[in-house]
A and B are shown apart, each in its own frame.
Chain A
Amino acid sequence: NAGVMQNPRHLVRRRGQEARLRCSPMKGHSHVYWYRQLPEEGLKFMVYLQKENIIDESGMPKERFSAEFPKEGPSILRIQQVVRGDSAAYFCASSLGSGSNQPQHFGDGTRLSIL
């Protein structure tokens, strides 16, 4: 049973380019969460999605960042016009449900480096 799959593992972009990060949840999981880990900082919640719906995006920067979880295919975190401060590890997690006894399972992350 495959875990949460994220790709690419490493992504290098120049300032002003777009970055697309993909996340395939565990089989049977319909709840997806994105977190960002800035250098020397803890993980911070960004957005929570269910299939075709953004439930909570309170942790997302207001500009340049967007997320989707289409009916078919992986969840995508998209960063437009990247800047140096976007360099971080981006982690995706999935859960079977949203109840308090449903743990979130994490992928290995995408390390984004902005030149």
Chain B
Amino acid sequence: KQEVTQIPAALSVPEGENLVLNCSFTDSAIYNLQWFRQDPGKGLTSLLLIQSSQREQTSGRLNASLDKSSGRSTLYIAASQPGDSATYLCAVVIIQGAQKLVFGQGTRLTINP
């Protein structure tokens, strides 16, 4: 059974710092991995999607890496801003009859001005 774990559960850093969020998964048989952002009371915004054949994806100040063999992904946020404060969710896509997202519990990020 695929399980996704995110560490740390919460992180608070001063504005301007670079930071890394971690995600690990137990079964390397994934089809892709997505990073999402969730603001309080809101839905999920897709940030980056890494296909299983890829090693990383970049979008603006965000860079996500994927190491399938070790079951790990990281989300790197450069030059953090208060507007980056949100919960960041990692999800792996597995195919069990249908395409399903298996989510981690999330990392609650606070950027202090």
On A, residues with C-beta under 8 Å from B are: 4, 6, 31, 33, 35, 41-45, 48, 55-56, 58-59, 91, 93, 95, 98, 100-109, 111
Q: How large is the interface on B (under 10, 10 to 19, 20 to 34, 35 or more residues)?
A: 20 to 34
Q: Are A108 and B103 in contact (CB-based, < 8 A)?
A: no
CB distance from B95 to the nearest CB of A (A): 8
Q: Contacts A4-B43, A109-B43 given; 17 further ones with Cβ under 8 A?
A: A35-B101, A42-B103, A55-B97, A56-B98, A56-B100, A91-B44, A100-B31, A100-B99, A101-B32, A101-B49, A104-B46, A104-B101, A105-B46, A106-B36, A107-B43, A108-B42, A108-B43
Of the candidates A31, A42, A91, A101, the one whose C-beta lies within 8 Å of that of B43 is A91
| A residues in contact with B91, CB < 8 Å | 43
A43 touches B89 (CB 8 A): yes
Q: Does B102 contact A (CB under 8 A)?
A: yes
Which residues of chain B have C-beta atoms less than 8 A from A108's C-beta? Answer: 42-43
Do B49 and A103 touch (CB < 8 A)? Answer: yes
Complex Cα–Cα for A41 and B97 (A): 24
Residue of B nearest to A41 (CB): B105
- Provide the B17-58 mask, 1 if CB < 8 A to any CB of A, else 0: 000000000000001101010000111111001011000000
**Chain B residue, CB-CB nearest to A108:** B43
Q: Collect the chain A residues with CB atoms within 8 Å of residue B34's CB.
A: 103-104
The 9 closest A-B pairs by CB, nearest first: A56-B98, A100-B31, A108-B43, A106-B44, A48-B98, A42-B103, A43-B103, A106-B43, A42-B105
Assembly CA distance A35 to B101 (angstroms): 9
Asked whether A98 lies within 8 Å of B105 as measured between CB atoms, the reply is no
Q: Which of A42, A55, A106 contacts B106 (CB 8 A)?
A: A42
Q: Which residues of B contact A101 (CB under 8 A)?
A: 32, 49, 51
Q: In the complex the two chains form, is B106's CB within 8 Å of A100's CB?
A: no
In angstroms, how far is the closest chain B Cβ from the Cβ of A48? 4
Residues in A with CB closer than 8 Å to B52 are: 100
CA distance A114 to B96 in the complex (A): 32
Closest Cβ–Cβ distance, residue A14 to chain B (whole Å): 23
Q: Does B93 contact A (CB under 8 A)?
A: yes
